[in-house]
Amino acid sequence: MMAQEGPLGAGQLQAMKAGGEKIVVLTCYDASMTMHCEQAGVDVLLVGDSLGMVVQGHDSTLPVTMDDMIYHTRLVARARQRCLLATDMPYRSYLDQDQALQNARRLTEEGGADMVKLEGGGKIIDSIAHLTANGIRVCGHLGLLPQSVEELGGYKIQGREQDAATRMCEDALGLQQAGAEMIVLECIPAGLARRISESLQIPTIGIGAGVGCDGQVLVIYDLLGITPGKQPRFAKDFLAALSAGKGITAAIETYVTAVRKGAFPDDEHSFT
C-alpha cells in the first residue's frame, strides 16, 4: 500500500477495494501492540469488545462497558500514527438512535476513535444512518454476532440456510446505503462472503469468511498464539512458524503479507 500521512478515509477504503488491494485489520487493545502493528504495516486497528474475553477473562463480550471501550481506545489512540482506528460499540450501547449517537460521540471524542462498529442489520440500519448523517464513520458487522450469541444459540456458522443468506445480502446492501464504510463478515460460508463482497462498493473484512473478502481481521492474541484453550478454526498462530530470534513485529508482518497476497485465509481456515 502506498504511504499515507493519516488514517484511511472512506474514498481510500473504496479505492483499495476497487484496485483489488487487500485491507489488513487487527484487533488491538493497548499502546505497545499498536506500535508493533504500525511498524508491520497494518491498515486498520480495531479496539474490539473481544477484550472482554482475551483481556478481562469473561466468557463473552457482553460484560464489556462503554467506559472499558473508551479506556482501551485511548490507549491505542495515544500510540497510533497512521492506522485507521475503529472501536466496537459494546452490548446495549446502541438500543436506539439517540443512545447510539451519544455513545458513538463518546468513543470518538473521549476515546479518539475514527470509526465505530455496530453489530447487526435490519433493525439497526436506521441508527447507522443517523450516525453517518451526524458525521460518525461506521463499520457494520454481519454473520456471527458475538453480542447476540445467546439468541443465536452459541458460536455457530451463520448464513448456510438460503433465507438467512438472502437476508444477510439484503442487510449488507442496507448498511452500505445507510453510509457504512466497510462491513465485517464473521463466520459465514466463503461463497456467501464472496457474493456479498462482489455486490458492494464498500469493502468487506472477513474473519472466518474466506479469502473472497476485501480484507481480513484477526484477534491479535490469536495471531500471536497467546489465547489459551482451543482456537477457532479461522485463527492462525503466525508467531509459531517463525524462526528463532524473530518476534511480534515479524509475526504481524507475516500476517500482513499473507493477507495482501490472498494466501490467508486458506481452505483450512474457512468454512463452506
Residue of 186, 198, 253, 268 with catalytic role = 186
- CA dist 98 and 134 (Å) reads 11
Q: Is 38 in the active site? A: no
In this structure, what C-alpha cell is assigned to residue 235? 485463527
Q: Which residues are tagged catalytic?
A: 186
